[in-house]
Amino acid sequence: MSRRNGYNFPALILVVVALGGFGFLLWSNAQPAPSLRAIVPTEALPTENVNAWQNVLRAGFGSNSTPLPTIAPPPTQAAPPTLARSGEINLSPVAPVAVNAGIQPTLNAFVTPTPPPPSVAPQETGVAVTAQVVTRPPSEWQPPPLIPPISRDALGRDHYWFMRPVDSNATNFALFSYPFGSDGPQQENPWRVHHGIDMPNPIGQTVRAAGSGTVVWAADGLRIEGGTFQNSPSYGNVIVIRHDFGYRGQPLFTLYAHLSGVLVAPGQFVNGGDAIGLVGNTGRVTGAHVHFEVRMGKAGDSPNTIPLYGATVNPLLWMVPYVGRGVIAGRVSGLRGQLLDDQTITVRDWRTGLVVDSTTSYVYYDSVNDVNADPIWRENFVIADIPVGRYEVITNIDGQRVSQILDVSEGTTSFAELAPPDPQSQPTTTPGG
């Protein structure tokens, strides 16, 4: 795994522990004791990369101490929520200067993991996709998120209905190295398939409801009983909200895991933006973060109506993009049209030629433990928060460089179809660069 070096990790760990302990003392004196306890992991820990957490923790403690931005709740009691008019720009009530001032360059200091060696011969020409080190420009800062719900797509396909579960002066984007649907960056000893996204933050960072609804679970571990059983102690302290809006007749749930504190109780109604918990490291983790899931439908016979893993969808297609940013979703498929797993997809700025982001693809097996494609987009990869502009989306399929050029617009999804070169059926691909 290739990562930026130069941090003094032992010193960093001391600082993190000291600050964390001090923060915990402050917090524990100021707050009622969390109603739930941490659990001791009993299984192996095939979880997130430690160095990644340390980088993030370092960045998190470098953040300023400005007050947390006020998050305006979306219209409540609406099913579905009222959507912003197409083209309308919803500026956050948060003054941009107070949001990420001073911390973003550090937060963006990640590099993506070096992808596993390709199983096919690398291409001879063009961009060596799998060898790219991805860094966001250090000068780049992240504006506040748009205000949900928005759906600016002319065909109504978008559903950016949820706000981010942590504030703008925290890490409120997904960790690169363990995206939704991924089984981790390494081929051997794969991690479990990821049903959500991770936002690394210091212990005690406020976790907020992504939308309005009723708390249906707040406990140490998630236990769903019914015809099919899910028991997930590895979540640690976990909250589930059933939202008071659904999607095309299906109920919507969001899940927040690994919390150090729980501030709500089952049955309680919350508005989007309400503080519901505190970031922690309970359950099966190697570092403090909030694990965020979106589950849709499939509540089935579960008495508490929480659907199983088999209802999880990619949160990046539900969480509002930042101002001036859009989302790229797409599908990587093989010669027979089958979806391809663990493909590295790289996004390159068409104007500057710089790689701006990358992710990996996922597949579905339609089991109760599986992830799902979006019901509309049928994607198998998503990259969020791409600045408005023109991009080339690139992958390697059977040794062939396959790419598509597309434009990203604010607050909308742009879709890429990446398939092996076939002039008759795939006119949009550009083999060989």
Q: How far is the CB of 198 from Zn ion (least distance, A)?
A: 4
Q: How far is the CB of 426 from Zn ion (least distance, A)?
A: 34
**Contact present, 289 and 279 (Cβ < 8 Å):** yes
Strand segments (E) across 116-265: 197-200, 206-208, 213-224, 230-247, 250-259, 261-262
DSSP 69: P
Looking at the Cβ atoms of 179 and 213, the one nearer to Zn ion is 179
Q: How far is the CB of 45 from Zn ion (least distance, A)?
A: 13
Q: How far is the CB of 183 from Zn ion (least distance, A)?
A: 12
From CA 87, how far away is CA 411, in angstroms rounded?
Answer: 9
Tokens linked to 21: 């302990």
| Torsion angle of C-alpha atoms 95, 101, 105, 111, degrees rounded to 10 | -50
Question: Any idea what the Cα angle at residue 147 is, between residues 90 and 153, rounded to 5°?
Answer: 75
Looking at the Cβ atoms of 291 and 348, the one nearer to Zn ion is 291
Looking at the Cβ atoms of 50 and 89, the one nearer to Zn ion is 50
Looking at the Cβ atoms of 291 and 295, the one nearer to Zn ion is 291
Looking at the Cβ atoms of 46 and 375, the one nearer to Zn ion is 46
Looking at the Cβ atoms of 196 and 272, the one nearer to Zn ion is 196
Cβ atoms < 10 Å from Cβ of 137: 13
Q: How far is the CB of 238 from Zn ion (least distance, A)?
A: 11
Looking at the Cβ atoms of 34 and 184, the one nearer to Zn ion is 184
Q: Which residues bind Zn ion (CB under 5 A)?
A: 198, 291
Q: How far is the CB of 258 from Zn ion (least distance, A)?
A: 8
Q: Which pairs with CB-CB distance under 8 Å and at least 24 residues apart come from 400-405?
A: 400/123, 400/431, 400/432, 401/123, 401/125, 401/126, 401/127, 401/129, 401/431, 401/432, 401/433, 402/429, 402/430, 402/431, 403/429, 403/430, 403/433, 404/330, 404/428, 404/429, 404/430, 405/350, 405/430
Tokens linked to 274: 């309400």
Q: How far is the CB of 293 from Zn ion (least distance, A)?
A: 8
From CA 81, how far away is CA 69, in angstroms rounded?
Answer: 23
DSSP codes joined into one string, 79-107: SSPPPPPTT-----SS-GGGTSTTTHHHH
Q: How far is the CB of 94 from Zn ion (least distance, A)?
A: 26
Residue 226: CB partners within 8 Å, gap ≥ 6? 300, 301, 302, 303
Q: How far is the CB of 410 from Zn ion (least distance, A)?
A: 28
Looking at the Cβ atoms of 205 and 395, the one nearer to Zn ion is 205
**Residue number of the CB atom closest to Zn ion:** 291
Burial class (CB in 10 A: 0-12, 13-18, 19+), 355: buried
From CA 292, how far away is CA 370, in angstroms rounded?
Answer: 16
**Contact present, 308 and 322 (Cβ < 8 Å):** no
Dihedral sign of CA atoms 243, 246, 247, 249 in order: positive
Q: How far is the CB of 194 from Zn ion (least distance, A)?
A: 6
Q: Taking each helix axis from N to C terminus, what angle separates 9-30 and 50-61, rounded to the nearest 10 degrees?
A: 60
Of 322, 431, 387, which Cα lies nearest the Cα of 139? 387
Looking at the Cβ atoms of 198 and 357, the one nearer to Zn ion is 198
Looking at the Cβ atoms of 198 and 342, the one nearer to Zn ion is 198
Looking at the Cβ atoms of 244 and 293, the one nearer to Zn ion is 293
**Contact present, 165 and 272 (Cβ < 8 Å):** no
